[in-house]
Amino acid sequence: MIVMENAVVTYPDFKLDCSLEVQEGTITGIVGENGAGKTTLFKALLGLVPIAAGSAKINGQDIAALSLTDREDIGTVLAESFFNDIYTIRDLNRLLKSFYRKFDESYFLAQCAAFGLPDKQPLKQFSTGMKAKLKTLTALSHGAQLLILDEPTSGLDVSARYEILDLLQDYLGDHPRCSILISSHISSDLEKLCDDIYYLKAGKILLHEETDRLLDAYGVLKVDDEALGRLDREHLLYRKRTNYGYDLLTDQRLFYMENFPKVIVEKPTIDQILLLIMEGERL
């Protein structure tokens, strides 16, 4: 569905240089702290910023060659873009009907009602959570086969975030060939939703792994200097200095549990994995 190969976007003080792939019928997550390049990557995929080198393709076509019909099959949520605050949902309904040939008016209005979004109230009176839900519904309302969602749950409380994540899972269930590329700085959201996760830092991909493997195979070893010297280092990825010695990240937790039974080996959360990569030293 999406293939980016060494795609480069340059700004005076920032450079994005990454490769990624999103398979048909899957949900792929991108996580990274603010300023990592998530929004730049999404804009590059949508043709909103130029790619200086490398390539980005959707369904085998370079993004610059996508037709209007091709682009109607893409649903987007961008953090800084939205409709005029004077509009109401009724106004948006009329606009979306004119924008998209496959706009599903009954779905859009029914979902707005289900989320408790008032159809006569101007958007400037909507809360942050209401606007976030409305953004996502507009992306889902025209039968898109690819969803590109930049931080759709940003700034929301847990309940509102899960409502949106559940909506996305329901959409994928109804559209099994649809693919979703979603970014978040809340990795627990992606853990709930995604088949695989990319970790982006300073414009580069530092990790790509299936979500199940992150949760099942990765581990953190807690060792002092003496224990570190005795370890087999073949399967160690990162290390971080601590008060007692080192935290070591491995993608072969069971190997160390079986072969080094005296070493403390913990099963980490995705947040702990990413934090160790962010703050640690690559081995």
Return per-residue pLDDT of the chain as tens, 283 residues: 899 999 999 999 999 999 999 999 999 999 988 889 999 999 999 999 999 999 999 999 999 899 988 999 999 998 776 788 899 999 999 999 999 999 999 999 999 999 999 999 999 999 888 888 999 999 999 999 999 999 898 878 888 888 889 999 999 999 999 999 999 878 888 888 999 999 999 999 999 999 999 999 999 999 999 999 999 999 999 999 999 899 999 999 999 999 999 999 999 999 999 999 999 999 8
Within 153-194, strands assigned E span 179-184
In terms of domains, do 27 and 124 share one?
Answer: yes
Q: Are 31 and 184 in contact (CB under 8 A)?
A: yes
In terms of domains, do 197 and 229 share one?
Answer: no
Domain that holds residue 75: 2-213
As for how many domains the chain has, the answer is 2
In terms of domains, do 50 and 178 share one?
Answer: yes
- What is the rounded CA–CA span in Å between residue 58 and residue 22? 9
- Which of 269, 203, 263, 204 has its CA nearest to residue 236? 263
Boundary (domain end) residue, out of 197, 213, 229: 213
- What is the rounded CA–CA span in Å between residue 16 and residue 40? 7
195, exposed or middle or buried, with CB in 10 Å at 0-12, 13-18, 19+?
A: middle
Boundary (domain end) residue, out of 188, 213, 238: 213
In terms of domains, do 136 and 181 share one?
Answer: yes
* pLDDT tens sequence across 9-52: 999 999 999 999 999 999 999 998 888 999 999 999 999 999 99
In terms of domains, do 188 and 142 share one?
Answer: yes
- What is the rounded CA–CA span in Å between residue 249 and residue 268? 9
Residue with token string 């099994």: 176
| Three-class secondary structure of residue 101 per DSSP | coil
In terms of domains, do 90 and 154 share one?
Answer: yes
- What is the rounded CA–CA span in Å between residue 38 and residue 31? 8
In terms of domains, do 88 and 202 share one?
Answer: yes
Q: Are 92 and 138 in contact (CB under 8 A)?
A: yes
Boundary (domain end) residue, out of 158, 191, 213: 213
- Residue type for position 174: D
In terms of domains, do 86 and 132 share one?
Answer: yes
Q: What is the CATH number of the domain that holds 187?
A: 3.40.50.300
- Which of 195, 201, 167 has its CA nearest to residue 181? 195
pLDDT of residue 155: 75
